[in-house]
A and B are shown apart, each in its own frame.
Chain A
Amino acid sequence: MELKLHIDGENVTAQIDRPGESLLQTLRDRLGRTGSKNACEQGECGSCTVLLDGDPVCACLVPTAGCEGRDVKTVVGAVPKPVRDAFVACGAVQCGFCTPGLLVSVADLLAREDDPSDPQIREALAGNLCRCTGYEKIIDAVHHAAEASR
């Protein structure tokens, strides 16, 4: 089956061969777009977070076959530079596995809230697990990114 998707600003054609294939698998294994990470395939970790028609979702739980003509933004196309720079500057990246998903969630949060409080940040990032940083530096990075974007 052939599908047309709009991914990170490009028109892309994907071939899939079973109805239950996830968008995460299509992005990574069929299209070589490995920005979105696979760390659980059960919606728990958020490392596969992408924007589907603007909303953050776990790509591992979306059947690709339902995405004909829809807009997908991964870490490559969803994240403004100040957000990426703040993560680096604040030490919010250690092993980096959670980072692409977190960046997408943060980009979504900052598009809605230009000066989020700590509780708002924790709520928005509740679906993104990080085993390295202890989260404090990630929260610092969100405040920095918010300031730099204003």
Chain B
Amino acid sequence: MTALRAAGAVSTDRPIIFYRPTETADALRFLAERPEAVPVAGGTDLMVGVNYRHIRPEAMLDLTAIVELCTWTDEGTAIRIGSGVPYARIVAELATALPGLAAASRTVGSPQIRNRGTVGGNLATASPAGDAHPPLLATGANIEIAAPEGRRTVAIDDFFTGPKRSVLRPGEIITAVTVPKAAGPQQFLKVGTRNAMVISVCAFALALDLDRRTVGTGIGSAGPTPLRALPAEELELPWAAPAGLTDATVERFGDLVAAAARPIDDVRGTAAYRRHALAVCAARALRRTWRAAFEERSAEWN
């Protein structure tokens, strides 16, 4: 072992396996040939593990030059975001069409992290604390996954299978996320110890759909996976006479969101605190979006 290491140290010109293709098909072929290769997009999750020697990739596949992954397109009623579009561009370019996802993106890390970090990386890591997840749940986004045998689309509701686990299989690449354009005001609220650079204690996203008269929800950092609060979504709201939204209804909504969470005690907060904070965030989000929809009629969301 010592001898091997010494040999490696003297010869720095041996070829290393690092591939940076421009086409998804080439990336898939490479992963099929080298199953040990680790994909990297922004590197903001992966490189921490590499620097701390938690993983030592033998081969890497850099996704950042794949043209399809670095672009977003307007599909009419939805935006298709390449999995490698960094948060900074979502904030700068998509805040009007996708206010919830843009608000969540704005809270990720720092400018340096947002310039590199991607929604694709957030999804692949599948942390319950990933900030992109609640707005994707609240809006009913779809995840497009490319495999050697073809592409499939997975509803965000079916994507997460456990803490840091998802339906993504080895050899597959997340190519895009398709997010319905906002049909009403949206909110993203995140509780943390600082206003920047925090992994959330809990987070909540809400999307009002004024056409369908529905409320979409997404809970972060308060369960084994990101969650929707279905009982809260089913709560009867006074759509026909919006001025009749009572404090009792708003509080009930908050309580239903808190009850839908499955938080644990950990270093960032207790389960009880998380439930309390979620009830407050959910009530606040409902009030703010309702007011924006029916009192201000602002142009913010469309």
A residues with a Cβ closer than 8 A to B are: 1-2, 15-20, 22, 41-44, 46, 49, 55-58, 60-63, 65-66, 68, 105, 123-124, 126-128
Most chain-A Cβ atoms within 10 A of its Cβ — which of B20, B50, B58, B195?
B50
A17, B113: Cβ atoms closer than 8 Å: no
A127, B113: Cβ atoms closer than 8 Å: yes
A20, B112: Cβ atoms closer than 8 Å: no
Residues of A within 8 A of B25 (CB): none
B47, A56: Cβ atoms closer than 8 Å: no
Let me know if B84 is at the binding interface, CB within 8 A. Answer: no
Residues of B within 8 A of A124 (CB): 111
Let me know if B213 is at the binding interface, CB within 8 A. Answer: no
Interface string of B24-65 (1 = CB under 8 A from A): 000000000000000010111001101110011111101011
B197, A20: Cβ atoms closer than 8 Å: no
Contacting residue for A65 out of B42, B62, B112, B196, CB 8 A: B62
Residues of B within 8 A of A2 (CB): 13
Let me know if B192 is at the binding interface, CB within 8 A. Answer: no
Let me know if B238 is at the binding interface, CB within 8 A. Answer: no
Residues of A within 8 A of B64 (CB): 66
A43, B109: Cβ atoms closer than 8 Å: yes
| Contacts A62-B47, A62-B116 supplied; 9 other A-B pairs, CB < 8 Å | A18-B56, A46-B110, A63-B40, A63-B43, A66-B62, A68-B20, A126-B195, A127-B110, A127-B197
A44, B197: Cβ atoms closer than 8 Å: yes
Let me know if B272 is at the binding interface, CB within 8 A. Answer: no
B18, A22: Cβ atoms closer than 8 Å: no
- The secondary structure that dominates the B interface is loop
CB distance from B138 to the nearest CB of A (A): 25
Let me know if B193 is at the binding interface, CB within 8 A. Answer: no
Let me know if B67 is at the binding interface, CB within 8 A. Answer: no
Residues of B within 8 A of A1 (CB): 13-16, 18
B111, A126: Cβ atoms closer than 8 Å: yes
CB distance from A24 to the nearest CB of B (A): 9
A56, B115: Cβ atoms closer than 8 Å: yes
B residues with a Cβ closer than 8 A to A are: 8, 11-18, 20, 40, 42-44, 47-48, 50-52, 55-60, 62, 64-65, 88, 109-113, 115-116, 195-197
Alpha-carbon separation in the docked complex, A84 to B115 (Å): 24
A17, B16: Cβ atoms closer than 8 Å: yes
Give the nearest-CB partner of A129 in chain B. Answer: B197
A126-B59 contact in complex given A61-B47, A62-B43, A66-B18, C-beta closer than 8 Å: no
CB distance from A75 to the nearest CB of B (A): 14
12 contacts between A and B (CB under 8 A): A1-B16, A20-B47, A41-B52, A43-B44, A60-B51, A61-B43, A63-B60, A65-B18, A65-B20, A66-B62, A66-B65, A105-B111
Alpha-carbon separation in the docked complex, A16 to B14 (Å): 9
B116, A57: Cβ atoms closer than 8 Å: yes
Alpha-carbon separation in the docked complex, A49 to B62 (Å): 21
Residues of B within 8 A of A46 (CB): 110, 112
Residues of B within 8 A of A61 (CB): 42-44, 47-48, 116
